[in-house]
Every structure is written in structure tokens, then in C-alpha cells.
């Protein structure tokens, strides 16, 4: 009958149809009213007594099911019999089994005032207000429910309001980009942990695809999409796993890029951890989004297995992928190992060997020098407590001579030392922040320094300054040895920094003194630990400098070096820098400032001179040699001015404070990685 009636209507004149449609609506209105009145709780009335039912906060759901409980109940979305219908049918059983099963219809549909509804009453639901009101009133606790669930819902609401979905559309309609009902079917929201809830999760791509059709098309053919949509794999990634479910921001904005990258690690933990050890991963963890991330290399929605020929990181496609950021890549550059694991000897033997070598070097160096410092501190503390340390006075070498100091370092050496210090501190701040990006202090330091791009520039500038001073000094040394003083220079003379057998004898004597087996040794112009401090930068310059150049100019290095060299350079550069920072600000600071006879600060390196009394005690061999040869007068100088002493102390304490801060943040970052097994 319906088919025939529709065919009759199809052939009726449009003017007649226009008259019939209002009549049809009137009939439908009367029928719906009759159904509502016939429902339990309602009383049959004659047509002349029919009155709309006033809806209040206690109106029973039975009234609503009188219409909405009828299958096929719907309204047309346009004019004409062929217009699409919007279903208004509610499955009562599914609603009662959902998380909203105990709520009355009118608690959500608050704009409904009459049955049948007025045309302006659309039954719209304000999920945000409803849940917020319930949370404020403590409804979960009053009803015996777990309040944590409602707390989580309110947190999700706050996230949603800040998300791109919670913002008004740009078309000026006043509507939001996506409301709660666009993603959640409000009448059938299943409880967490139920099979229905898992079904909803698996349908997420289809739900999101209603608006994001192109992304759904790409996702359907991806490794994630195939697992979810074809094989029903509940562990494979759906949209919400990467974009989050409520705190969704535009993928063109930095927060989304960072969240998505971190979300990859929720499933691909091993790959994320190895990625986080590369420069790309380190600055990404620091909050810099404009570097290579997971989806930049593997693609966002159409990702496939890395072994697939279609993968952007496959051998045939890798060059094209890398060139999106790095123009003119070289063969070695393309074989860089973005997920190289230094703990896997079978797959990455070069990385394993480099890592273990650096660990042995670190353990050996610190075990030796920290033991040396601890024993020194112990012995000197006991002598100081016993009053055995000499009291230093600014007395002249010759009675009446105002020159009460001995010149140790000329101005050029002091300037070079200060430049070295500032360069190393800059390198340490910028480098350790990248090496330990997940430390609690790292994001703060990164923001203070201006972010990853500024840090990269500052790091390179400091490296150039360090190198410049190093090579200028080296040039000066060569000039003095091979030209200016070639006739008098002695490679193993008393003023030479070249290690000799006397240094070994002094070290043995020092150890005997540590254990109370002999007197404290006396030294010439240089002690053995000062010579070590001098030569250490040569090792560091070669190791840190060469690895730094490889990382700074990867395209050039990749022309003649294999890709694994970049991974090894990353390991060596970071670990050797850690060694340098910790050694300088612990061992070197102790030797110069923190041993009991010097604490809390020795300003000799800033004023360039030391009292004669201290010179007699610290450099007894040199003092006797100069006095016997009649050359002592050549090194005697007046004391530094009070102004110079004051500002030297200010500078010294400032540098020590910065150094100890660097020592703390470096050791805290190292301890975090050691605790979490990330070394």
C-alpha cells in the first residue's frame, strides 16, 4: 500500500503536494499525541480535550518512549517524499545498558517543555554542563558510584573545550567543529571494559572518517588500518591512540606534533627509545616540533612496514624521504641508523663496542681521580685540623721589598683560560640539555636558552671559540718551541708541560703522603695533576671535536664514511662531553679551589700571581732553584690591587656557581638514565 501511495503522490501536481504536506504533518502530530496519551500514566481524552503534556524534571521516560520507542520513528530532513529521514528511534534496552541508563531523558534534553514538542525544541543536549553540574554536586559519591569515573569525564571535557573540535567553525554558523554526539552515540555509550566499549573503539576510524574522509582512505590501506578494519586486531592503533580522544589539536600545530610522536612510543617502545637517543628525538623530547618525527619518515596515515617496498623508509624511497629536510644527501648519510641500539651487539656491533669503550673509560677515569681527590681531602683536612698547614702571609721574599707576589700566568694565558671556561660552560649548558632532554630541568633550560635552534647556534659558536683559542695557543707554543726559544727550550725541563719521570715519582710520593707513609712531596713549576689538566683538552679536542664535526657536517662526512659512523659519533660526542663536564667541575675544581688549603676560592688564575709565602710552600723546588740561580727577582711582582682582588672573587664565585650548577644537572640527568636503564 505504501508503494502504491508513493507512486500516486509522485504523479500528483506539485501544488497539490504542497497542500497535502501540512495536512500530513497535522495528522502525524495528532497521532503522536494519541500514542503519548495512550502510554501508561496517560489518560485517553477526546479530541476537543487534548492538551499538550507539560514536561518537568520528573517526567517519566515512558512518555518519551511512546514515540521514540517505536521503530521507524523519524522526521524528514527536507521537503518531498524522497527526502532523507532522520531516525528518532531509541533502543530502550541499549540505553538502559549504557552509562546513561539510570538517567532520565529530561535530565539531558533540558530544552523540551511540551509533548508533543514545539518546532523550536530540538532536544539538544549540553553534555558539558550536565557532567560539570553532576561533578560539582558530587553526584557520583551520592549515588554510590566511583567518583574517579566522573572526575575523568570532567577532565575530558576540559581537554575537549581546548581542543580543535571544541572551537567554533570558521563558516560563521556558530556550531562547533565537532560536538560530543558526533563521536559518541549518546544513547548507547558502553561502560569501560565491556565488549560493546571495545566495539566502539574499533569503530573509531569509521566515526572519524565521517568528517575526515581522505585520512580514512589512507588509513584503510595502512598497516594500522588493515589490522583494525580487516583483521579486528584490538591492539592496533586507531585514531585516538595517536591524536588522543579529547585533547585533539590541529596537526599543523606544535602540541599535536609532539603528542603524536610520543604516542607512537606507547606501542613502539623500543623504536621510540632508540629514536629519542638521536638528535631528532632529543630535541623533540625538549619540545621542538620542527625536526624529523615518526610520521615525517613513516608517513602519518598511510604507513606501512619498513620492509615493504612502499614504505617511505625503504631503500628505494629513503633518499626522497630524507630530502624533504636534507637537500643533497650523500650515500653514507642515507645509511644512518635512526633506531640503532647500542645494547644489541648482533645487529649493531660498532655501536655496542663504542658504548662499552666509553663506559669503561668513564668508570676508569672517575674511579681513579675521585679516589685521588678523596684521599687528598682526607689527608689535608687532618693536617689542617692539627695546625700543620702553613699560614699564608703577604710577606716579601727580601725584607723591605714591596714585591710580595710571584708572577705565575701572563694576561694572555688568563684571557685564554677565561675564554675556555665560558666556552665550556656554554657547550655544557646547550649540550647536556640535549643529552638529557627528559630530565626535570631540561625543558626549563631549553626555554631559558631560547629553544633548540638557538641552542644549536650557541653550541656551534662556543665550539668555534674553544677551537680558536686552542689552535691559537697551539700556534704560540710551536712558535716558542721551534723559533723563539729553540736554542734554550728543553722538552723535559722544569718549565715544560711534557710529562717526565719526576711526575711519576711525585705521584707515588703523593699517594704515600695520603696514607701517612711519607712527607708531602714538593713540586717544581708544574705538578703532575696540572700537566694532566693541560693535556686533557688535547684528547677532548680530538674526540669531541672530530665527532662534533661529523655531526655538524653529515652530508660531507657521508661522502666517505658509512652511516653507522654517525651513530658512533653521537655516542662518543655525548659520553666524552659528560666526562669532560664532570671532571672539570669536580676534580679540576677540587684541585684548584676545594681542597682545604684553598677553599673556598683561589683567585690566582684571575690575578695571575700568588703570594711568595704560598709559592715557597706550593713550589718549593722551583723557589730553591730560582733563588740559587739568582732568577727569583725576575718573577717577583707587586700584590694585586684591592679592586682587582674584589672583582676576581666576584668572577671566581660566579664561575664556580655556574660550574656546580652544571655538575648537578649533568649528574642528575645521568642518574635518571642510569635508573631507567637508558645508558
pLDDT digits (tens, 9 = 90+) for 594-617: 999 999 999 999 999 999 999 999
The whole-number average pLDDT for the span 107-113 is 85
Tell whether 355 and 301 lie within a shared domain.
no
Question: CATH number of the domain that 457 lies in?
Answer: 1.20.950.20
Q: b or e along 250-272 (b: 16 or more beta carbons within 10 Å of the residue's beta carbon)?
A: ebeeeebbbbbbbbbbeebeebb
Instruction: List residues bridging with 76 in a β-sheet.
Output: 85
Domain end position, chosen among 109, 124, 139? 124
Domain end position, chosen among 72, 92, 124? 124
Phi-psi group of 160: left, alpha or beta (phi > 0 → left; psi -120 to 50 → alpha; rest → beta):
alpha
Lowest mean pLDDT among 64-73, 289-298, 491-500: 64-73
Tell whether 564 and 634 lie within a shared domain.
yes
Cα-based distances in Å from 172 to 60, 166, 167, 183, 414: 38, 15, 12, 22, 68
How many structural domains does the chain have? 3
Tell whether 369 and 475 lie within a shared domain.
yes
pLDDT of residue 81: 64
For a pLDDT cut of 70, what percent of the chain falls above it?
A: 90
Tell whether 637 and 519 lie within a shared domain.
yes
pLDDT of residue 80: 67
Quick check: is 334 in a domain? no
pLDDT of residue 173: 82
pLDDT of residue 140: 55
pLDDT of residue 486: 85
Query: pLDDT by residue (tens digit) across 625-647?
Result: 999 999 999 999 999 999 999 99
pLDDT at position 74 over 50: yes
Q: Is 562 in a helix, a strand, or coil? A: coil
Is residue 431 within 8 A of residue 577, CB to CB? The reply is yes
How big is the chain by its Cα radius of gyration, in Å? 39
- Grid coordinates in use for 351? 655501536
Integer Cα distance of 651 and 648 in angstroms? 5
CA angle 542, 431, 541 (to 5 degrees): 10
Computed from CA positions of residues 133, 137, 139, 140, in that sequence, does the dihedral angle turn out positive or negative? positive
Quick check: is 61 in a domain? yes
Tell whether 324 and 361 lie within a shared domain.
no
pLDDT higher at 96 or 277: 277
Is residue 270 within 8 A of residue 348, CB to CB? The reply is no
Query: pLDDT by residue (tens digit) across 125-151?
Result: 888 888 887 777 776 554 555 667 778
Tell whether 477 and 515 lie within a shared domain.
yes
Helix and strand counts by DSSP (H, E) for the chain: 34, 7
Integer Cα distance of 456 and 143 in angstroms? 57
Instruction: List residues bridging with 53 in a β-sheet.
Output: 115
Quick check: is 338 in a domain? no
Tell whether 299 and 412 lie within a shared domain.
no
Tell whether 422 and 305 lie within a shared domain.
no
Cβ contacts of 617-622, under 8 Å, gap ≥ 24? 617/390, 617/392, 618/523, 619/522, 619/523, 619/524, 619/525, 620/522, 620/523, 621/494, 621/522, 621/523, 621/524, 622/494, 622/523, 622/524, 622/525
Instruction: List residues bridging with 405 in a β-sheet.
Output: 611, 637
Quick check: is 570 in a domain? yes
Domain end position, chosen among 92, 108, 124? 124
Q: How confident is the model at residue 1 (pLDDT cuts 50, 70, 90)?
A: very low
Query: pLDDT by residue (tens digit) across 22-46?
Result: 445 444 444 454 544 444 444 445 5
Tell whether 307 and 405 lie within a shared domain.
no
Tell whether 369 and 463 lie within a shared domain.
yes
Tell whether 477 and 422 lie within a shared domain.
yes
Query: pLDDT by residue (tens digit) across 233-289?
Result: 999 999 999 999 999 988 888 988 999 999 999 999 999 999 999 999 999 999 999
Cα-based distances in Å from 4 to 13, 18, 634: 16, 19, 124
- Grid coordinates in use for 587? 676534580
Quick check: is 211 in a domain? no
This prediction's pTM: 0.82
Quick check: is 576 in a domain? yes
User: Residue 453: which of 269, 590, 609, 283 has the closest Cα?
Assistant: 283
Is residue 222 within 8 A of residue 130, CB to CB? The reply is no
Task: List the domain range (segments joined by +) for residue 291.
Answer: 249-329
Phi, psi of 545 (to 5 degrees): -65, -45
Integer Cα distance of 575 and 569 in angstroms? 10
Quick check: is 203 in a domain? no
pLDDT of residue 382: 95
Q: How confident is the model at residue 18 (pLDDT cuts 50, 70, 90)?
A: very low
Quick check: is 188 in a domain? no
Q: How confident is the model at residue 7 (pLDDT cuts 50, 70, 90)?
A: very low
pLDDT of residue 49: 55
Give the mean pLDDT of the chain.
Answer: 88
Torsion, Cα of 627, 632, 637, 638 (10° steps): 30
Integer Cα distance of 2 and 280 in angstroms? 66
Tell whether 478 and 540 lie within a shared domain.
yes
- Grid coordinates in use for 549? 664535526
Q: Is 315 in a helix, a strand, or coil? A: coil
Amino acid at each position: 500500500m505504501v508503494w502504491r501511495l508513493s507512486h500516486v503522490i509522485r504523479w500528483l501536481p506539485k501544488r497539490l503536494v504542497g497542500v497535502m504536506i501540512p495536512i500530513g504533518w497535522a495528522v502525524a502530530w495528532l497521532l503522536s499525541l494519541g500514542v503519548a496519551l495512550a502510554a501508561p500514566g496517560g489518560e485517553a481524552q477526546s479530541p476537543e480535550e487534548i492538551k499538550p503534556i507539560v514536561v518537568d524534571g520528573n517526567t517519566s521516560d515512558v512518555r518519551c518512549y511512546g514515540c521514540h520507542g517505536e521503530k521507524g520513528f523519524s522526521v524528514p530532513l527536507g521537503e518531498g517524499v524522497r527526502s532523507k529521514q532522520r531516525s528518532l528511534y531509541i533502543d530502550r534496552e541499549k540505553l538502559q545498558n549504557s552509562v546513561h541508563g539510570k538517567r532520565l531523558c529530561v535530565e539531558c534534553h533540558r530544552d523540551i517543555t511540551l509533548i508533543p514538542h514545539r518546532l523550536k525544541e530540538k532536544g539538544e543536549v549540553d553534555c558539558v554542563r550536565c557532567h560539570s553540574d553532576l561533578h560539582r554536586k558530587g553526584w557520583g559519591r551520592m549515588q554510590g558510584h566511583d567518583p574517579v569515573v566522573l572526575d575523568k569525564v570532567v577532565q575530558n571535557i576540559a581537554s575537549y573545550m581546548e581542543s580543535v573540535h571544541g572551537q567554533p567553525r570558521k563558516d560563521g554558523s556558530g556550531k562547533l567543529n565537532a560536538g560530543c554526539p558526533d563521536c559518541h552515540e549518546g544513547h548507547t555509550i558502553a561502560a569501560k571494559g565491556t565488549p560493546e566499549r571495545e566495539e566502539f573503539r574499533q569503530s573509531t576510524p569509521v566515526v572519524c572518517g565521517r568528517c575526515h574522509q581522505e585520512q580514512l582512505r589512507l588509513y584503510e590501506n595502512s598497516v594500522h588500518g588493515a589490522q583494525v578494519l580487516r583483521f579486528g586486531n584490538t591492539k592496533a592503533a586507531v585514531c585516538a591512540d595517536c591524536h588522543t580522544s579529547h585533547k585533539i589539536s590541529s596537526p599543523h600545530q606544535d602540541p599535536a606534533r609532539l603528542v603524536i610522536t610520543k604516542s607512537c612510543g606507547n606501542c613502539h617502545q623500543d623504536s621510540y627509545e632508540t629514536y629519542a637517543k638521536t638528535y631528532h628525538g632529543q630535541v623533540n623530547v625538549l619540545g621542538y616540533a620542527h625536526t624529523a618525527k615518526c610520521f615525517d619518515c613513516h608517513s602519518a596515515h598511510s604507513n606501512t612496514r619498513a620492509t615493504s617496498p612502499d614504505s617511505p623508509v625503504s631503500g628505494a624511497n629513503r633518499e626522497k624521504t630524507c630530502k624533504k629536510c636534507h637537500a643533497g644527501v650523500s650515500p653514507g648519510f642515507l645509511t644512518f641508523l635512526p633506531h640503532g641500539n647500542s645494547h644489541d651487539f648482533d645487529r649493531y656491533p660498532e655501536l655496542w663496542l663504542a658504548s662499552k669503550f666509553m663506559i669503561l673509560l668513564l668508570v676508569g677515569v672517575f674511579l681513579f681521580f675521585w679516589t685521588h681527590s678523596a684521599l687528598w681531602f682526607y689527608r689535608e683536612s687532618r693536617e689542617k685540623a692539627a695546625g700543620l698547614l702553613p699560614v699564608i702571609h703577604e710577606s716579601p721574599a727580601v725584607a723591605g721589598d714591596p714585591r710580595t707576589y710571584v708572577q705565575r700566568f701572563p694576561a694572555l694565558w688568563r684571557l685564554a683560560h677565561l675564554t675556555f671556561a665560558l666556552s665550556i660552560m656554554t657547550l655544557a649548558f646547550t649540550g647536556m640539555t640535549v643529552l638529557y632532554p627528559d630530565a626535570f630541568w631540561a625543558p626549563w633550560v631549553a626555554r631559558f636558552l631560547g629553544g633548540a635552534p638557538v641552542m644549536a647556534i650557541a653550541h656551534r659558536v662556543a665550539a668555534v671559540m674553544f677551537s680558536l683559542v686552542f689552535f691559537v695557543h697551539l700556534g704560540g707554543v710551536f712558535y716558542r718551541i721551534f723559533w723563539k726559544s729553540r736554542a734554550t727550550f728543553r722538552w723535559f725541563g722544569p718549565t715544560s708541560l711534557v710529562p717526565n719521570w719526576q711526575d711519576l715519582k711525585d705521584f707515588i710520593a703523593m699517594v704515600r703522603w695520603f696514607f701517612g707513609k711519607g712527607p708531602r712531596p714538593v713540586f717544581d713549576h708544574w705538578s703532575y695533576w696540572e700537566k694532566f689538566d693541560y693535556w686533557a683538552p688535547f684528547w677532548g679536542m680530538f674526540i669531541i671535536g672530530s665527532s662534533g664535526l661529523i655531526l655538524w657536517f653529515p652530508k660531507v662526512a657521508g661522502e666517505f664514511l658509512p652511516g653507522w659512523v654517525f651513530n658512533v659519533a653521537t655516542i662518543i660526542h655525548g659520553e666524552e662531553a659528560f666526562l669532560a663536564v664532570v671532571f672539570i667541575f669536580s676534580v679540576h675544581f677540587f684541585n684548584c679551589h676545594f681542597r682545604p688549603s684553598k677553599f673556598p676560592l683561589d683567585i690566582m688564575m684571575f690575578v695571575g700571581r700568588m703570594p711568595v709565602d704560598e709559592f715557597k710552600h706550593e713550589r718549593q723546588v722551583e723557589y730553591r732553584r730560582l733563588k740559587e740561580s739568582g732568577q727569583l727577582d725576575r718573577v717577583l711582582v707587586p700584590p694585586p690591587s684591592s679592586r682587582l682582588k674584589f672583582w676576581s672573587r666576584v668572577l671566581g664565585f660566579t664561575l664556580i656557581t655556574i660550574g656546580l650548577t652544571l655538575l648537578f644537572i649533568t649528574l642528575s640527568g645521568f642518574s635518571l638514565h642510569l635508573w631507567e636503564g637508558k645508558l
